[in-house]
Amino acid sequence: CGHNLGTYIITQNHAEKIADFPGTWAVKKIEGHPNLLMQGNYFGISILENQNGKWQLRNVVDGFNISSRFFELVSNDKLVVNHEQNGVYVLQLDDNYIRVVSEEVEPADGFGSSMFKFKGDLFLSSSSGVMKFDYEKLQFATDSTLTKALFVKNDTITSIIISEADKLWGFTNRNIVSLSQGKFDNEPYVTRIPVPSLFRRTLGVTGFECVLKLENEKYLIGSSTGYLTLDMGKLKKANTNIYINSITVSDLKSQSHEVDFLSKTTFLNKENNFQILFSTPNFNQFSETEYQYQLIGIYDHWSDWSRQSNVTFSNLPHGDYTFKVRSRIGNILSENEGTYSFSIDKPWYLS
């Protein structure tokens, strides 16, 4: 188990420190060397060795002192290390993993980078997209399939990507994103699970999110306040409708009255201030309801999405208008649009 203070072995409820080299990011097996483990640490790479059934720190790899949160052996003596600010290092190690023989570095492209293995391949993800490692050229190249699937306009991945058996996990500002391969082809299947902004903030520091599989379609997600479980088998598409609840009209003297919007469609010129209330029933506490509207005749473009369920139009000029409103719960757009058409008369001096 990696820890800020070093490396521990956890046995039931007992923790035994086996290495003092600080800041262990990850511990990985070395193929062909069952008695060795490789560690990524705050200050480079280190090796654990099992002697007489007891694990202990054997050595710190000489010649490389860069923080190594993401690392992967791509051959017996080639190690790839990703560092968010510096870029990707390809290190050649000596046969005994004592020192770095040579080093090449590719500058960082984008921010928020992470490196992961999925279906036997090595990938690098950042704000610029997803890249796949070429084992012959020893470099990364853009993977258009995963980039297109995971990096959607206005809802792009903001965290590291977590690899888990048959799924990839990522986090956006609005969603938890799950990607798996299609059952009948190699096209990725993406599920976006909406989360409220308040809940998203409890998932911890961006880039340090955690998802673990429990069983079947159940997953454990870590948060700053504990843990929660996600059951992918119970995700349902919500049936959503939006309703216009009330319309209140007022004049310059602020004399207001609620109107019967099912029948009242024409107003005096002085009745040109409108407050419209609308809503969509939402019984899912983990999904936010947002609204978007337009007033054709003066504001023909849809507004930005907002959680505010009312809008006020003040001092509208005479003319014909159609108000439209729609909603979304999470990523599900309402099945209908609320509409109301009305007219404001010309002032008497233009009649």
pTM score, whole prediction: 0.70
- Is it the case that residue 132 has pLDDT exceeding 80? yes
What are the pLDDT digits (tens) for 289-314?
A: 899 999 999 999 999 999 899 999 99
Instruction: Examine the fold and report which residue of 170, 205, 235 is the final residue of a domain before the chain moves on.
Output: 235
Mean pLDDT of 173-199: 76
Alpha carbons 309 and 228: distance in angstroms, whole number: 30
Max intra-chain CA distance, the chain: 102
* Statement to judge: residues 45 and 80 lie in one domain: yes
- pLDDT average, residue stretch 246-266: 86
Residues 101 and 151 in one domain: no
Least confident piece of the model among 12-16, 104-108, 236-240: 236-240
CATH number at residue 333: 2.60.40.10
pLDDT in tens, 83-121: 989 999 999 999 999 999 999 999 988 888 899 998 889
Give the range among 54-58, 201-205, 239-243 with minimum mean pLDDT. 201-205
Ramachandran sector of residue 204 (left: φ over 0; alpha: ψ -120 to 50; beta: rest): left
Do residues 38 and 89 both lie within one domain? yes
Mean pLDDT of the chain: 88
* Residues 191 and 251 both lie in one domain: no
Shared-domain flag, residues 217 and 317:
no
Does the pLDDT of residue 184 top 70, yes or no?
no
When pLDDT is averaged across residues 332-343 and rounded to a whole number, the result is: 92
Residue 294's domain comprises 243-350
User: How far is residue 155's CA from residue 330's CA, in Å, rounded to a whole number?
Assistant: 12
| 102 and 17 within one domain | yes
Tokens 């209908």, located at residue: 336
Q: How confident is the model at residue 74 (pLDDT cuts 50, 70, 90)?
A: very high
Could you tell me if 39 and 137 lie in one domain? no
Whether 102 and 135 share a structural domain:
no
Say whether both 175 and 85 belong to one domain. Answer: no
pLDDT at 251 over 90: no
Residues 23 and 93 in one domain: yes
Question: Is 295 in the same domain as 230?
Answer: no
Q: At which of 108, 125, 141 does a domain end?
A: 108
Specify whether 194 is located in the same domain as 298.
Answer: no
In whole angstroms, give the CA distance from residue 42 to residue 208: 15
235, 267, 283 - which closes a domain? 235
Which of the two residues, 206 and 20, has the higher pLDDT score? 20
- Residue 285: pLDDT above 70? no
Q: Total domain count for the chain?
A: 3
